[in-house]
Structure 1
């Protein structure tokens, strides 16, 4: 193991055991780009350069895994094997990072998170490790783990704007909204172009019903969303569209979908589920989306055998069903078959949440609203276990409410009122919720609320 004091350092001051100058540049691109959500992170695999340096190969493996497809581990394995083969020449920090990525490739997510947590304690400026650990916690529904990782780095890396953005999102997902807003605003004060902090603050404002303020904020900072990876740019525009939908400006939200959310990287999983979620929300708000499901369904059909994350599969499934594709039945069968043999860390989420939710989503897409209401009602109390954010999982809640309202049963309308009225009380600016509450009140023979 080389003496760290004689080694070059990455952008955050971590020694790296890499001698080739091109490799060092690409590692810097990956480290700074990944933490800042910029497209330069991919330079490490797109420029055609190769290096046996263990850290270089570990980063290449991680980039392959971010495809979030069923064949990603096979693409990543040669890189992680090369990283492990040369690990004796790597630093202690690099060795642990290699093992964390290896655990990811092998599907052992609990071990991966444990290694990232240990890394955050021992090497808190390894911000690639911190952010990757947060990504895994996010996918496991472990909001507290996300926040712990960010807070472990904060005292040692407070000079890095993106660390405050990481902490902000961890606070927000733990429902500590005041601290989330303070952390996000500190990040933005340090660097206006901090899209992850923009994203965290959008979450806070949506949760608190500050819709006009949230829309104005996202419109103002949108000029900085340049050079980002496709997920970050499309996801921030997705958040902007949510404000428009709640403000009853669904036609404008549909234009945002067409211009900024769908078409950046159509083959990428995150862009696809963003489109599914946005089209579904637009329809639930009464907007005609035309033939858009048809094109999207063609891309979703390639994922029937992935089973990487239940959060992804559920949205692929709903999109396929809304597109009228027969692959929806194929994917539903695959989910049922895979759930009992899923990796231990996510098996309960697949079995107890994903399977009933999958049946409910297909039923809703096909107009079987009573079945949808019952199946989704079973899954919703544990929906956090499939991962995703509060705002993303709210899609399933909205579909459930729509099924309750359209089932034609009084008991379901009463359930819908119990969900929607508190939301309406907490978000007085939402015209979407106001119209939905009016529909429920009318169905129950109640007077409408005064505006």
Structure 2
């Protein structure tokens, strides 16, 4: 894709929408920003200058530029509003839809992940190019709003149109994760690998889901094998932020389960260390910090926390506000866990637990924090925290009855409580 975009802009350097596509994909990839990358700042400035020099530019094209400028300045909600304005008049604008959709994901706005597609879906006909992908996008929004049956049906419809639709396969991964259908998930990924593994942007993430099923089942050896042979190799090769957070999350989940991960954190940290000062998403920062802690990089932890403090004090924008409201406590909690101060972890996280969704990501991705809190509550020296762990596990069991991981944790806390 990068090669195609570059060729397009070589052929027509003044093509504003070409710059919109290239800059938008880079910005919403969340691996770089204009605050730290002068080259990207120059690219965005050039896009703005070109748009101001072309009076024939349509209002729709001008709005695309405005949305990216807002996003590049950290105003994520403002950017969403502009993309939604475009979609009201141009419901088949797949670029506006994709950017709005991804932005809602970063904001943890599950309803809008679903509904931004629902508002335009009737305007897409089955005979239209990309129709299957729109259905696929809707399927994930349905899953994130707990409409699992509807999500599965939509994903399977999308796959009947295009078996190589990695996003539809991804929806099925989530459905099976959230419903406790681990064996089905493993079977599906095994049998359809020839299709979804061709999707370079999502293959690593689908392997991450595959490993989660094995962690749930307590088969840590197979999960580690997937981590080593697929997830890590792909993350190192791509350097994509989605892949980076996957390796951090997967290794930390294994560590929470008491698995010896040996020196694996060193490789993970090497991939993460260039992002200590990004602060594009709280969700990303959390995973980068985890890598520093896992690798025992105390100076990097201090450097990152100092950087976050300056970011909150001096910056503005959506992620600055989320970091101040939720992120700072979350980061301190991971540091406290690393210091074995488990009661402090609970005291930091439990009061903001209902706000964690604001950091973005999916329910499955944020479940790392749920497991983290429960483990800390179990390890705390306070009985009230043990009672909290039991309450959280009761909640978890009702949401996902078929969960060996929940059962293992419940056994632990019941032994402590003597029940």
User: Same fold by TM (over 0.5)?
Assistant: yes
Q: 1:235–1:261: 8 Å Cα contact kept in structure 2? A: yes
SS in 2 for 1:262: helix
2:140 aligned residue: 169
Unaligned ranges ≥5, structure 2: none
Does the aligned pair in 1 maintain the 2:9–2:15 contact within 8 Å?
no
- Which piece of structure 1 moves more, 289-298 or 88-97? 88-97
Determine the structure 1 residue equivalent to 2:258.
286
1:68 matched to which residue of 2?
31
- For the 8 Å contact 1:341–1:347, the answer to whether it is kept is no
Do the aligned residues in 1 keep the contact of 2:9 with 2:19 (CA within 8 Å)?
Answer: no
Of structures 1 and 2, the one scoring higher in RCO (CA 8 A, sep 6+) is 2
- C-alpha deviations, 1:234-280, integer Å up to 9, x for none? 11111111111111112111111112211224233222111000001
Structure 1, residues 306-348: CA drift from partner, whole Å, max 9, x if none?
1111111111111111111021121122223322444343343
Q: Structure 1 214/48 Cα, relative in aligned 2: closer, same or farther at 3 Å?
A: same
Structure 1 residue 95, shift from structure 2 partner: 2.6
Given the alignment of the two structures, is residue 423 of structure 1 paired with residue 385 of structure 2, yes or no? no
8 Å contact from structure 1 (residues 247, 429) kept in 2: no
Q: Which residue of 2 aligns with 1:358?
A: 331
1:345 aligns with 2:345: no
Q: Is residue 342–residue 350 contact of structure 1 (8 Å, CA) maintained in 2? A: no
From 262, 270, 273, the counterpart of 1:301: 273
Shift in CA distance, 157/54, structure 1 to aligned 2, threshold 3 Å: same
How far the C-alpha of 1:369 sits from its partner, in A, is 1.4
Residue 198 in 1 paired to residue 176 in 2? no
| Residue pair 2:164, 2:199 contacting (<8 A) in 1 also | no
Evaluate the alpha carbon distance shift between residue 315 and residue 131 of structure 1 in structure 2; reply closer, same or farther with a 3 A threshold: same
1:207 partnered with 2:178 = yes
1:385 and 2:358 equivalent? yes
Per the alignment, residue 221 of structure 1 pairs with 192
Q: In the alignment, is the contact (CA less than 8 A) between 2:204 and 2:235 conserved in 1?
A: no
In structure 1, what is the Cα distance between the partners aligned to 2:276 and 2:364? 25
Contact 2:289 2:301 in 1 (8 A): yes
Contact 2:155 2:169 survives alignment (8 Å):
yes
SS at match of 2:10: coil
Question: Which consecutive unaligned segments of at least 5 residues does structure 1 have?
Answer: 1-39, 447-451
Pick which of 422-431 and 202-211 moved more. 422-431
Structure 2 match to 1:57: 19
Q: 1: distance between equivalents of 2:64 and 2:85?
A: 10
Structure 1 pair 102–227 and aligned structure 2 pair: CA distance change class (3 A): farther
Q: Residue 45 of structure 1 aligns with which residue?
A: 6
Aligned pair 1:440/2:416, yes or no?
no
Distance 1:132 1:166, change over 3 A: same
RMSD of aligned residue pairs (Cα, Å): 2.1
Number of residues paired by the alignment? 406
| Structure 1 position 189, deviation (Å) | 1.6
Shift of 1:425: 4.6
Shift of 1:136: 0.9
Structure 1 105/428 Cα, relative in aligned 2: closer, same or farther at 3 Å?
A: closer
Counterpart-to-counterpart distance in 2, 1:398 and 1:153: 37
Work out the CA distance in 1 between the residues paired with 2:184 and 2:313: 45
- State how far apart, in whole Å, the 1-side matches of 2:42 and 2:392 are: 44
Q: 1:219 offset after TM fit, Å? A: 2.3
For residues 324 and 83 of structure 1, what CA distance do their matches in structure 2 show? 47
| CA distance in structure 2 between the partners assigned to 1:341 and 1:151 by the alignment | 38
Q: How does 1:230-249 map to 2 (within 5 A)?
A: 230=201, 232-249=202-219
Shift of 1:48: 7.9
Which secondary structure state, in structure 2, belongs to the residue aligned with residue 263 of structure 1? Answer: helix
User: Is residue 132 from structure 1 mapped to residue 94 from structure 2 by the alignment?
Assistant: no
